Amino acid sequence: MPSLEPLRPDHAEALLAFERANRAYFARSVPDRGDDYFAEFPARHAALLAEQAAGTCRFHVVRDADGELVGRVNLVDLADGCAELGYRIAGSAAGRGIATAAVAEVCRLAATAYGLGSLTAVTTVDNPASQTVLARNGFRFGHEFLLGDRPALAYRRDLVP
């Protein structure tokens, strides 16, 4: 069973290593973050922590049963009882139910600890694993659109505390 931890300053080194190690894996299904993301990571990490402190976002790291950082699950743009869900799970941890469990836990937190009433999420059309994670967690398909130059799908889930 994975565990979620709110993002902290001391996660920076492990989170950067996670993003670097999985960059090519992620780029197969979502737009690449670009070289600047990695070059400016300390400042980006500090900015995320500031957003979290301001209450506009909730960032989490995901650890597996051995304590290894294997993912992240984020709620961004918290406003009017809604937020957008985003997540990344390491290629080495894919297919083990970690994403499904981590998303379930953040949905629970969103409803009970963060006071949200609904979540939205997007995934690319060519990412059936992510579509499955969302469906297993009660998200319903909304519409298709372009994410950059890639066909994508929008989902929504109403939360019940």
Reported as a single tens digit per residue, the pLDDT across 79-93 is 999 999 999 999 999
Which residue carries 């650890």 as its tokens?
63
Mean pLDDT score, 75-81: 97
Cα–Cα distance measured from residue 100 to residue 107, given in angstroms and rounded to the nearest whole number: 11
Q: How confident is the model at residue 35 (pLDDT cuts 50, 70, 90)?
A: very high
In the chain, what percentage of residues exceed pLDDT 70?
Answer: 99
The pLDDT confidence band at residue 161, using thresholds 50, 70 and 90, is: low
C-alpha distances in Å from residue 2, one per residue of 44, 65, 97, 151: 25, 6, 9, 30
Of 50 and 160, which is predicted with more confidence? 50
User: pLDDT averaged over the chain?
Assistant: 94
Domain ranges of the chain: 3-158
pLDDT of the residue at 29: 81
CATH assignment of 3-158, among 3.40.50.2300, 3.30.360.10, 3.40.50.80, 3.40.630.30: 3.40.630.30
Contact 83, 51 (CB under 8 A): no
* Mean pLDDT value across residues 99-118: 97
Per-residue pLDDT averaged across 27-48, rounded?
91
Classify residue 57 by its DSSP letter: -
Q: Is the confidence at residue 43, as pLDDT, over 80?
A: yes
48-52, 77-81, 112-116, 125-129: least confident range: 125-129
Q: Is the pLDDT at 66 greater than 70, yes or no? A: yes
Predicted confidence (pLDDT) at residue 160 exceeds the cutoff of 90: no
More confident residue, 79 or 160: 79
Residue 20: partners with Cβ closer than 8 Å, 6 or more residues away: 38
- Higher-confidence residue of 21 and 33: namely 21
